[in-house]
Chains A and B, each alone.
Chain A
Amino acid sequence: DQQVKQNSPSLSVQEGRISILNCDYTNSMFDYFLWYKKYPAEGPTFLISISSIKDKNEDGRFTVFLNKSAKHLSLHIVPSQPGDSAVYFCAASNDMRFGAGTRLTVKP
């Protein structure tokens, strides 16, 4: 059973606007979450992570929010750039499985 879920297969935003990618998990024991970014013809690469002892982690234009009570995390990209167009995967460190991914398209 998929314990990490990304329910939006795709997202399209205008350059300069905010992109919000969502991820839900079912196991309350998960305590560390990671986001990966994947370009075509390449393997996924680590982007940003968050520990359950925090509710927010920021790295430049990327911020990840964690809502433990809702078992929900989100990745915010502000401002979005065309180079951010990729597939984004979330994962829980305790579980080696990934969400199905969300394809982000940032239009110029």
Chain B
Amino acid sequence: DAGVIQSPRHEVTEMGQEVTLRCKPISGHDYLFWYRQTMMRGLELLIYFNNNVPIDDSGMPEDRFSAKMPNASFSTLKIQPSEPRDSAVYFCASSGGITFLGKNIQYFGAGTRLSVL
């Protein structure tokens, strides 16, 4: 398997523009996560899905952020309108869920570095 695939790897946009980040999870995984990494906050959980259904979106910073998972092999994170403070690295991860002894290993994509000017 190719692992979790994110696109684009880098995105530079201007303030006010719409940004869409994409993620293809590992086939067979039923959990998908979106994280944001910043210097100040480390790795923040934004939202996660189970079987394509959003379970916890309490980490989504504002209404400007939205995430969808139309099917088991694709998810998007959209920011509209974007602001300079949204500049960060955004990671997508997937997992096969809780297994024996509660083990739940997440597999991460390489991330999308977003710069909002």
Interface residues of A (CB under 8 A from B): 6, 31-32, 34, 36, 41-46, 49, 51, 53, 89, 91, 93-94, 96-101
Binding site secondary structure of chain A: loop
Cβ of B101 and Cβ of A46 under 8 Å apart?
no
Interface size class of B (residues with CB under 8 A): 20 to 34
Q: How far is the CB of A27 from chain B (nearest CB, A)?
A: 13
Residue of A at shortest CB range from B6? A43
The interface residues of chain A lying within 8 Å CB-to-CB of B91 are 43-44
Residue of B at shortest CB range from A49? B103
Q: CB-defined interface of B99-111 with A at 8 Å, one 1/0 digit per residue? A: 0011111111111
The interface residues of chain A lying within 8 Å CB-to-CB of B102 are 31-32, 51, 93-94
Q: How far is the CB of A82 from chain B (nearest CB, A)?
A: 23
Cβ of A46 and Cβ of B105 under 8 Å apart?
yes
Q: How far is the CB of B105 from chain A (nearest CB, A)?
A: 5
Cβ of A34 and Cβ of B109 under 8 Å apart?
no
Known: A6-B42, A51-B103. 14 other contacts (CB 8 A): A31-B102, A41-B111, A42-B111, A44-B43, A44-B106, A46-B106, A46-B107, A51-B101, A93-B98, A93-B103, A96-B106, A99-B42, A100-B42, A101-B43
Q: How far is the CB of A47 from chain B (nearest CB, A)?
A: 10
Residue of A at shortest CB range from B102? A32
Q: How far is the CA of A27 from the CA of B72 in the complex (A)?
A: 31
